[in-house]
Structure 1
């Protein structure tokens, strides 16, 4: 058991790539209920209503789908400096950047699989315009009157050539802890769920069945209630959004969920894990066996086959995307 360092406070934001920028923007604003916080070139900055920072999602037009970078907020300037030293010692640092709108100096680095992550401390607290001012002063923004009304960015599930190696890096370099994992009969750890604070998980690594690197399994947003997940299914149905599976309940982490594809092809999870927290300072990692995992969800329909095969970018575009993004100084898609 490793103790949490608390040097990383939480998952801050994600940059998502889409080959259908207008339709993807429609999905995140009209269907999910996110708010535009600005734009720059091919990128639009979006926020959930309960996000205290400038934005939680950067949506960027690109030749294909996938994830470009994941932002993590440090718990202090001293914590940022400590984690940067640890990342450099691991040989996976990229370097300092000026940061995105609303964020100060940012240190970019890669996990062993090539996904780019960005660590920062300085941030701009959101000040809503008058039309978005909430009735309650302890809420950053008024509750959206349209769409699903997602509350916050919840977690990122990365596909990786080797989940355990990436989980070990997040644990050792960033001070996270593994809350749950899957061990195959061969002894291989095929998936790990890690957290930085009291949430049950912030980052997930899952073995990529294709053996490729740098891909995304899904990006997840939390709703206020389980009933919002049911309402989300109706909203997606009425608006032609592809529902992959759900609503069901996961056995691992007990999350109530709905998986859909946004128009750019990225898998989006709408989830309600808000009531499950890890409070034990000596939490013992829960390990699921291959046989236990094969049983599927806690309840609901059997896990759909595409859940184990679909990732972004599509494998056939992975090599070209990796070449392009390396030229741009970022990680593979």
Structure 2
């Protein structure tokens, strides 16, 4: 019997898979747990997340308010903390077991990075706090308590942690963090090699260096993003993103922003990279917040080939909708003159 010829497109796919770099297996970091946002106006920022975004207050402690999205199984999704300047504080990653936590701590220490054990968040056990090479604070943990909703927030379905909110957009969960970094490639190599993330997409500029890279710990297409900081600064935030149920929720969020005076930076429209439908707004402290609907896109392939975009491809802007505005490349927190 004559050999069946291999279709040309299958040959190309095999070549892409072969070119995909070998990385640690997914699983030690189970998911993005929660993030901390600094703001000089905490009362206004907390009100924004309650009234406009639809989060609820889980607890308060000193200068910090612990907020949660309705579909989070843990105590909090977001910590809002008073600081003189806006920006990103701690990003917490939950590990799948204590053994997985110990493996990731050892892997981070093997890079020469240091850290310390703390126990300073409600309903969370020991956290090992370190920094990525750009200076963003990261925390690894495993022990946590499942949220028990009070009677007024009790859901109608027992497999849902909390009733859906009756106010604001009603975002479902914290989706991803997009950092600004002076050296994207070095910083993301640390996240990939030491923390076990998988890169899914990246931008390689004409001079060869990496301008942005998207990583995932799950079958979502991305959890942590690093974008080049054009100011040459370190440790800054580009945006914090929350996922909605539907695209229509994004449109409703734009109408609510118009009605309530929330500043819309750009959107709604669709990214080419990761295909996310989005809206960017600023919270009162000056941090950029994204409302996004990426829920339909998963990376199920265990050997997903890293997708690389060129500078010319990115110059085309978004997939459709408005062109990318200048502030999207220049605004970050804390602000840099």
Q: TM-score range by the shorter chain?
A: over 0.9
CA distance in 1, matches of 2:251, 2:204: 32
Select which of 189, 193, 206 maps to 1:172: 193
CA distance in 1, matches of 2:302, 2:51: 40
Select which of 52, 61, 68 maps to 2:73: 52
Alignment partner, residue 183 of structure 2: 162
Select which of 242, 245, 259 maps to 1:224: 245
Structure 2 matches for 1:98-247, cutoff 5 A?
98-247=119-268
TM-score by length of 1: 0.94
Structure 2 matches for 1:258-269, cutoff 5 A?
258-269=279-290
Alignment partner, residue 79 of structure 1: 100
Is 1:2 the counterpart of 2:37? The answer is no
Alignment partner, residue 11 of structure 2: none
CA distance in 2, matches of 1:217, 1:169: 19
Listed one character per residue, the Cα deviations across residues 11-49 of structure 1 (whole Å, up to 9, x for unaligned) are 000110001111111100000010000001000000000
Select which of 52, 71, 75 maps to 1:31: 52
Query: Retained in 2: the 8 A contact 1:178–1:195?
Result: yes
Q: Across the two proteins, how many residue pairs are aligned to each other?
A: 316
CA distance in 2, matches of 1:93, 1:138: 39
Listed one character per residue, the Cα deviations across residues 74-109 of structure 1 (whole Å, up to 9, x for unaligned) are 011100000000111112222111141010000001
> Residue 247 of structure 1 aligns to a residue in which SS?
strand
Query: Retained in 2: the 8 A contact 1:2–1:177?
Result: no
> Residue 174 of structure 1 aligns to a residue in which SS?
coil
Alignment partner, residue 324 of structure 1: none
> Residue 81 of structure 1 aligns to a residue in which SS?
helix
Structure 2 matches for 1:277-316, cutoff 5 A?
277-316=298-337
Question: Unmatched 5+ residue regions in structure 1?
Answer: 317-333
CA distance in 2, matches of 1:230, 1:255: 14
Listed one character per residue, the Cα deviations across residues 156-200 of structure 1 (whole Å, up to 9, x for unaligned) are 000000111111000000111110000001001110000001000
> Residue 36 of structure 2 aligns to a residue in which SS?
strand
Query: Retained in 2: the 8 A contact 1:5–1:175?
Result: yes
Is 1:254 the counterpart of 2:281? The answer is no
CA distance in 1, matches of 2:217, 2:35: 16
> Highest Rg: 1 or 2?
2
Is 1:273 the counterpart of 2:316? The answer is no
CA distance in 1, matches of 2:277, 2:115: 37
Question: Unmatched 5+ residue regions in structure 2?
Answer: 1-20
Deviation above 6 Å: which 4+ runs of structure 1? none
Alignment partner, residue 3 of structure 2: none
Q: CA deviation at 1:315?
A: 1.4
> Residue 180 of structure 1 aligns to a residue in which SS?
strand
Q: CA RMSD in A?
A: 0.7
TM-score by length of 2: 0.93
